[in-house]
Each structure stands twice: as C-alpha cells, then as structure tokens.
Amino acid sequence: MANTLTTENKAFIKSHLVDRHHTNTLKWDALQERFGNPDLLPLWVADMEFKTAQPVRDALIARVQEGVFGYSFIPDSYKEAFIHWQQDRHGITVKPEWLRFDNGVVNSLYAMVNWLTKPGDPVLIFQPVYYSFANAVTDTHRELISCNLLNTPQGWQVDHEALHTIIRDRKPKLAIWCSPHNPVGRVWQPEELEAVLTPLVDAGIPVVSDEIHEDFEIGDTPFTSVLSVANGRFQDHVIVLNAPSKTFNLATLLHSHVIIPNSAWRKDYDDFIKTIHQTEPSLLGVVAGEAAYRQGTPWLDQIIAIIRYNDSQVRHILHHGAPQIHLQPLEGTYLLYVDLGSYIPADKIKDFVQNHCHLAVDYGAWFSPQTPTFIRLNLATDPQLVARAAHQIVTALQETVPQAL
C-alpha cells in the first residue's frame, strides 16, 4: 500500500484540485442546510474535489462550442469505448445488444424494483449498504429484508447461513447487490460471489448488481463482475448497473448503464421502462463518458494513487492517536467506514462528529441500523483535508474521552 506521494502525484493534485465553495456544491455549500453548520469539514457525498480528466473537459468544451443541444442518440463509438474499457481493464465481456442507458444508477435501482417486483414483495439487500438501496425498496412500498454483513476479524463477510435461511423462509423476489461494496470497501472474491449468487439463482431470484465502483481497486484484489464470475455462468440471472460517473467525477451529467445479458429479460425491461421513463440519453454524459473511457486511464491512475495515499494517512494517524479504532482494509471504493464505537456510544456520535470533530460525514446509521457508531469518510479529496479530518478525530477524542486513549 503506497504511503508517499510522488512528484507526479503532487503536480496532479495541484493542477486538478478545485475550491468548490460557492458553486452550489452539495458537499460544500449545503452544510448549513444538511448539518446545521456551514463550517464543518465535509467528507460526506461521494464525489471528488478533483477536476475530471483533461481529455474529458476538452471533449465537453468542443461539444458545448457547437452550441446546439437537441435530441441525440448514443453512437456505436460510445458503446465500443465502454465495451473496450470493460474488457481491457476488468476482463469483462459485454455485448453491445446487452446495453441500455439511464440517467443515473439510483434511477435504475428504483426502476429495477418497480420492474421486477410488486408492492408488498420482499426485496433483499445486504446492509450496511448505500442508503438508496433501502430507499428504493421502501419508497416503492416493497418489504425490505436485509441479510446483514458480518464485521469479522477477517473483514466484512456475507452471512451465508442467514442468506440461506432468508431465501428459504422469506422468499425474496429480488436481490440487490453492491460490488465493490459501499460503504464497507470490499472487492468481493470470485468464490464469495459464487457463494452468494448460487443460492439466489437456484431459487429463481434475479440479482441486480450495482457495480458503479468497479474502477476503484484500492487494495490487491482485482474487481470481478457478476457477469464474468464462474465463466459467465450467472449471466442470464443478473443485471448490472454501472456508469462512468463515479470513476470520472461526472455525477450530474446523468448518464449510466443497465446491462441485461438475458434477451427475454431485455425485451421485458424495454416493454416496462417505456411505461415509466421516456427520457432522452444525456448528451454531455455520453460525450464525457466516451472521452473518459478512451483517454481517462492516466487520470484515473493518479486518482487511485491519491486514494491509496489518503487511506494510508488515515490509518497512520488513527493508529497512533486512537489505537482502538479498528479499520478494515479498503479494497475498493474511495469510502472508508470507520467505527468510533470503542470510544463513543451510538447516541453521542452525531454530537461528537459535528461539534467536536467539526466534520460532515455520512453516518453509519444511514447505511444500516446495525452500524450506528460508524462514520464514512470520503478519501477522494485533497490529502491535506483528509489528514486534517483524521487529526480532528484524534484531537476530539483526546478532549472528550482522554481516559480511553
């Protein structure tokens, strides 16, 4: 794990870091509204303080200069660029006819629930997990079932026994899976994926896999898609959601993929989706995405080096200043799930984080009722801010619970 920044990394940071204050940025400019204090150091929302790759900006500028933003379609060149990226970076084969498009992965999560289940149906998720998963289930009046992940000394794991019991007794109609996993940072091993998919697929339960974080391989484990695990054995039973947006910091360009290898499902999806969603593809999202997939690798490699460095900074500072905080390895994503529970009880976490650490974070309670003492830190930002945040946690602990340190 890298724990220094190279000269090249430093130059990259200097040329890409932006002050996002006063740009209507959710992370920076909504602190008063969301946390009641505009002066917190924000490490919440999962986007970055880095400008997207220069070739992406160039492609966007060129398209904007044309000056017309009328109806458009997604060119074959976009599909080729994406398919090549999947193959080249991850060894995943995607056929062009499998591809559908949407205006964001969260949109698609809701569409999947509406398409594949009926109100009242049980839908399975694996908490703690990105809160839009639970929202997509409960907002659409389905029954939320969680197979809670286990926080073990060997890392976060799926509770396979619980999974089998849930499948047998609760008979979910749909499972929504997160890979790599936000917020626990796992990049699932092929054997783990097989062990999750096999009982679900044997029981005839479709699996939607949200793979938006696929490009953030932070540890040594390479990302494996549900599309390619076990030589593609599960392809006909899975739907993959992903996008260039998380990887290249393009969230509000509103462009994402729905990948459906099963041709009968695809037809069914097409029939369903036109009843709820007649939106055009995002022109600028497609322009940016194609440039990113074709020319974004050097930029992404820099970002990954910075995330690794930030991860090692937090570990170092917390290890020395607050040794009872046990951190699981960050294998994937740029989001670190930190348990403050050995120092701060659940009912004091918010007060501690906001009033003593002066941080704005995503709270563990947002991801699962089981993780109320966790906070999630966004590491895709200025290393100085990340170090400051970690020091603020240590200082606040020294002030609040000196006897425990």
Ligand X SMILES: Cc1ncc(COP(=O)(O)O)c(C=O)c1O
Nearest to 13 by CA among 310, 218, 214: 310
> Minimum distance between the CB of residue 242 and ligand X, rounded to whole angstroms?
9
Query: Torsions phi, psi of 117, nearest 5?
Result: -140, 170
Question: Could you tell me which stretch among 5-13, 100-108, 111-119, 396-404 binds ligand X (CB under 6 A)?
Answer: 100-108
Question: Could you tell me which stretch among 12-20, 61-69, 103-111, 228-236 binds ligand X (CB under 6 A)?
Answer: 103-111
Q: What is the 3-state secondary structure (H, E, C) of 82-128?
A: HHHHHHHHHCCCCCHHHEEEECCHHHHHHHHHHHHCCCCCEEEECCC
Cβ closest to ligand X, residue 212 vs residue 386: 212
Q: Is 179 in the site for ligand X (CB under 6 A)?
A: no
Show the binding pattern over residues 225-264: x = contacts ligand X (CB under 6 A), - = does not. Answer: ------------------x-x-----x----x--------
Contacts with ligand X: how many residues (CB under 6 A)?
13
> Minimum distance between the CB of residue 264 and ligand X, rounded to whole angstroms?
26
Cβ closest to ligand X, residue 99 vs residue 387: 99
3-state secondary structure of 213: coil
Cβ closest to ligand X, residue 5 vs residue 283: 283
Measured distance CA(197)–CA(183) in Å, rounded: 20
Among 28, 130, 216, 367, binds ligand X (CB under 6 A): 130
Question: Could you tell me which stretch among 80-88, 101-109, 164-172, 271-279 binds ligand X (CB under 6 A)?
Answer: 101-109
- Token pair 């069914």: residue: 268
Q: How far is CA 80 from CA 4, 99, 259, 262, 394, in A?
A: 36, 11, 14, 20, 48
Question: Could you tell me which stretch among 98-106, 260-268, 270-278, 388-396 binds ligand X (CB under 6 A)?
Answer: 98-106
3-state secondary structure of 242: strand
Measured distance CA(380)–CA(69) in Å, rounded: 31
Taking the CB of residue 68, how many other CB atoms lie within 10 A of it?
Answer: 7
Question: Could you tell me which stretch among 99-107, 157-165, 186-194, 358-366 binds ligand X (CB under 6 A)?
Answer: 99-107
Q: Give the footprint of ligand X on residues 26-55 (CB under 6 A).
A: 46
Measured distance CA(309)–CA(323) in Å, rounded: 19
Q: Is residue 115 within 8 Å of residue 145, measured between CB atoms?
A: no
- Token pair 């054997």: residue: 191
Among 59, 106, 184, 357, binds ligand X (CB under 6 A): 106
Beta-ladder partners of 258: 100, 241
Cβ closest to ligand X, residue 15 vs residue 252: 252
Among 42, 104, 244, 289, binds ligand X (CB under 6 A): 104
> Minimum distance between the CB of residue 104 and ligand X, rounded to whole angstroms?
3
> Minimum distance between the CB of residue 59 and ligand X, rounded to whole angstroms?
20
Which residues contact ligand X by CB under 6 A? 46, 104-106, 130, 178, 182, 210, 212, 243, 245, 251, 256
